[in-house]
Structure 1
Amino acid sequence: MNLLLVLVVAVSALVHVAGADANAGGGEPVKLPPHVEDLRDVILTAARSGNIDELKTAFEVSGIVPDLGIEPGSDPIKALKERSGDHEGREILAALVETLNMPPVALPLGNDIENNLIYVWPYLAERPLDKLTPAEEVDLYRLVTPAKAQEMREKKQWLWWRLVIAADGSWTSFKRAN
């Protein structure tokens, strides 16, 4: 009987923690459409593999190569490796994991009633950086150094990675502002 009680308490705690993470920053949890959730999972699986070539699977599932802030026609994997501090792409993969571990924000875009939302990770990319709550500040420091956070506040601009998936499950962009 005591073991059952311990299991129930443990499961309740896990559900509470998962719910708190999905509700980071005090906003309402965003319910992702199945296509968006599926693509997010594919990107995360690829990123956690440690092999940047695995992102090709995410591009295939998406149906397009997202805007990566590179010249059109460039090899996206090669370009990401070149941008990565380790030149293997692992720094980029780490940024993908950290970005997608944050909750997204859903933003309306376009006139299509059924598919007019885009999902932006992390939600902080769409928040006024000078008005963050203490919980949002903690999330910000999970992503960037205090110096980078200060620079972002001073410039009043998001200067880290931002990932966008459209409601139809297409990965539209993954770029870092400079």
Structure 2
Amino acid sequence: MMQGTGRVRQNRRLRLLCAIGLAVVVVTAGPAHTQIGGDPIAPPPTDIVPLPEPFNRTMSQDPDNPLAVPGGGGDAFDSADPVVGGGIEELPEAVRRTRAMIMEAAQRADFEALRPLIGSGEEMTQLSLGGYEGDPVAFLRSLSGDQEGHEILAILIEVLEAGYAIYDPGTPNETFVWPYFVATPLEDLSPTQRVDLFKLVTSGDFEDMRAFGAYIFYRAGISPDGRWRFFVAGD
């Protein structure tokens, strides 16, 4: 492995360990407020961000197609439990469009192209579970292991290239969430699913998450109307 690649993967593990630490801080300290232009803005309600939970839920899905929606057709929407989604072509058009625009901007390393997608005010994309101060684009760049912010853009691309899950399907709070590992028991991942996971995290990350009990690395959510709801790590 190239030395630079090794440093990147070490940075990702350090970031995951920080996310685990943040899980404890968020639980004990409660949500913080974001400040934009000196005016405090309360973070979006935490119920719009699917937080990891103990994986004791059974998922009825096709073993030959781990990304298939359980039950097929509309049956998957009889419950508000999260389900693993299908192909990108099955996403609502607005969701596909937003995902494509995010990935295109990230691929071009164009942070300013992400700004209108992040938005502002109450509709602003949630970028932290603990709150932050200042410009959201600057904050997003600061999450990266490199000064230019390229690593966090690469992570964003990798997250959106993974399969997705559908949280609160058929409800007003329906959200399409990447990667689908958020809604999948880590212990039940197939060999091919683990390969997918290791595109995002290291084997050390995986063991840390197993010990914690959930996937808690970066995840992104888009609402059916195409609003980019969140890009966060941690619990």
TM-score range, shorter chain: 0.7 to 0.9
Question: Aligned partners of 1:128 and 1:42: how far apart in 2?
Answer: 30
- Runs of 5+ in structure 2 lacking a partner? 1-62, 69-85
> RCO higher in 1 or 2 (8 Å CA, sep ≥ 6)?
2
Correspondences of 1:51-90 after superposition (within 5 Å):
51-60=110-119, 64-69=123-128, 71=131, 74-90=134-150
How many residues align? The count is 151
**Letter of the 1:123 counterpart:** Y
Please tell me whether residue 94 in structure 1 is matched to residue 151 in structure 2: no
Q: Which segments of 5 or more consecutive residues in structure 1 lack a partner in the other structure?
A: 1-22
Q: Give the conservation status (yes or no) of the 8 Å contact 1:52–1:88.
A: no
- Whether 2:210 is the aligned partner of 1:153: answer yes
Contact 2:182 2:215 in 1 (8 A): yes
What letter is aligned with 1:130?
Answer: E
Aligned to 2:222: 165
CA contact (8 A) 2:67 2:163 kept: no
Q: Which residue of 1 aligns with 2:94?
A: 35
The whole-number CA distance in structure 2 between the counterparts of 1:58 and 1:71 is 19
Distance (whole Å) between structure 2 residues aligned to residue 72 and residue 159 of structure 1: 19
User: Structure 1 runs of 4+ off > 2 angstroms?
Assistant: 51-54, 57-60, 70-74, 109-112
State the 1:41 CA deviation.
0.6
Compare 75-84 and 63-72 and name the one that shifted more.
Answer: 63-72
Alpha-carbon deviations, 1:65-88, whole Å to 9, x = none?
Answer: 210006366311111122211122
| Contact 1:67–1:172 (Cα < 8 Å) also in 2 | yes
Superposition TM-score, scaled by structure 1 size: 0.76
Residues 107-156 of structure 1: CA deviation (Å, up to 9, x unaligned):
226744xxx52100011121111211111111111110000011011111
Could you tell me which residue of structure 1 aligns to residue 180 of structure 2? Answer: 123
Is 1:50 paired with 2:73? no
Taking only the aligned residue pairs, the percentage that are identical comes to: 32
Q: Report deviation, 1:168.
A: 1.3
Instruction: Supply the distance in 2 between the matched residues of 1:136 and 1:64 (Cα, whole angstroms).
Output: 33
